[in-house]
Amino acid sequence: MNEPTRIRAPELPENLDWFNTDDPLTLASQRGKIVLLDFWTYCCINCMHVLPDLHYLQNKYPDSLTVIGMHSPKFENERVAGQLQKAINRHHIRHPVANDTRFQMWRAYGIKAWPSIIFIDPEGYVVGILRGEGRRQQLDELVRKHLDAAEKKGVLMPSRMTAAARPEPKTTLSFPGKVLATRNNLYIADSGRNRILETYHDGKVRRIFGSGTAGILDGNETAAMFNNPQGMALVGDFLYVADTDNHAIRRIHLKSGDVMTLAGDGKQGRYVADSFKEPLEAQLNSPWDLTYHESNLYIAMAGQHQIWCMNLNHQAIKRFAGSGREDLADGPIDSACFAQPSGITALDNTLYIADAETSAIRVLRIDQETVSTMIGKGLFDFGDRDGVGQKARLQHPLGITVDPERNALWIADTFNSKIKRVDLQTSQVSKFKFGIKLDEPGGLSLFRDKLFIANTNAHQIVMLDLSSRVAEVVNVREND
């Protein structure tokens, strides 16, 4: 019987921009080790879900496995080297990453979608491709199998690679994803440090919820743990938090400072039931933002491409809208499609949703149980253009808030690093110019005439006076 044809892995091009390494890598230099080529794009929630699996494998096989991130950017903003460096730091990526803006490796390996992992054995031959997320066990078994085979053949040559990171500057905040303004306070999701800050409007810190260590642990304000917390909603004396990387909804009792888990068991859900009588048994999937309306907490479930609803009176959680298919499709809430919804806000009986991967603003009529699209046309339709409704273009918006006084929406047009205003009567979309440079803002909150902006990549909260267009960076400080 003839041996099956083995395919030598195509070599890495010489003209790639590299990160987390002092020198460009070659596959030839990694002979004797297993190589995983992770084809990803940093906007993609599914790609984010793969990162913990790669981290696990790196820790388990530090001398015999090399992970190389092959960044194949979907959005124009992701092509920029500085923005990719920010994403690498935001996601705590340790392995080498190449920015393949020309999709050379994508074509060479016949990649069809993000995320995809190419498995290369220690002799430099392609074993196969694994598409999608949730492959940790399969990858682990493959790595073990091919390491054993390589050891028997005498071709295993373990060596350890040292990462060359470019850390962020030391700042009080680290990649704040969302902000919530109340009459007296700001609540800041200090996402990169896994904590929630309560500050005055001038930035002086009153309290910190969370130890700063990534994890899921209930307890008092100093002992509790979060993991990449994002959106928040205030209801009475309780602050609800979308604890994104814990796949959980947490609740902070503002009088006592105690933190408890309301929904989610800390594990990522993929195929889930439509409703759960016991929310702590529900497996959520990267909840990214929250809004409250008439006893219900509405959840932008980015990883499941759905909108969920938790009734705070009955403590029940369920899927509210979205089939789970990543797409842009209008219609009844059960069949409508979202694509990584990451911002949500409520006005009257309507939810407005920043649907990031379709660069869209979606409209969900709660009473009518229908979904429509105000801005956006599909997964690959994006840009930076003012206009009325569908003539406008956004690029991966993550934040949205309502302005009842102006009958408007404010949008954090994240990958355009701009704030946009949408007139709810005319659907006119307009850039709102002011004097501070933004860098991938992720969240917005309005109190009276002041719009607070989570200027995520700049590690800042910006306060913008909408009447005067005067903006200033809030001086967030733990000690005066």
To which residue do tokens 């990719």 refer? 84
- Look at residues 312, 332, 303 and name the one whose alpha carbon lies nearest to residue 320: 332
pLDDT at 98: 98
In whole angstroms, give the CA distance from residue 451 to residue 399.
Answer: 12
Edge-to-edge strand list for the sheet holding 450-455:
443-447, 450-455, 460-465, 471-473
The owner of tokens 């009088």 is: 255
- Model confidence, pTM: 0.97
Residue 184 has φ and ψ, to the nearest 5°, of -110, -20
The pLDDT value given to residue 221: 97
Of 342, 328, 436, nearest to 375 (Cα)?
328
Whether the CB-CB separation of 51 and 67 falls below 8 Å is answered with no
> CA of 127: how far to CAs of 7, 11, 116, in Å?
8, 15, 13
What are phi and psi for residue 44, nearest 5 degrees?
-85, 120
pLDDT tens-place values along the chain, 480 residues long: 344 678 999 999 999 999 999 999 999 999 999 999 999 999 999 999 999 999 999 999 999 999 999 999 999 999 999 999 999 999 999 999 999 999 999 999 999 999 999 999 999 999 999 999 999 999 999 999 999 999 999 999 999 888 899 999 999 999 999 999 999 999 999 999 999 999 999 999 999 999 999 999 999 999 999 999 999 999 999 999 999 999 999 999 999 999 999 999 999 998 666 778 899 999 999 999 999 999 999 999 999 999 999 999 988 999 999 999 999 999 999 999 999 999 999 999 999 999 999 999 999 999 999 999 999 999 999 999 999 999 999 999 999 999 999 999 999 999 999 999 999 999 999 999 999 999 999 999 999 999 999 999 999 999 999 999 999 999 999 986
Q: What pLDDT, on the 0 to 100 scale, is given for residue 272?
A: 64
What does the pLDDT read at residue 271? 66
Exposed (0-12), middle (13-18) or buried (19+): which is 165, by Cβ within 10 Å?
Answer: middle
Q: What gap in Å lies between CA 210 and CA 187, rounded to an integer?
A: 13
* Cα 454 → chain centroid: 14
Q: Which two tokens stand for residue 287?
A: 């909840």
| Rounded Cα gap, residues 321 and 305, in angstroms | 9
Dist. CA 136–CA 38, nearest whole Å: 13
Domains recognised in the chain with CATH numbers: 17-153 (3.40.30.10), 178-473 (2.120.10.30)
Report the C-alpha gap between 100 and 249 in whole angstroms: 36
- Please report the sign of the dihedral spanned by the C-alpha atoms of residue 334, residue 337, residue 343, residue 349: negative
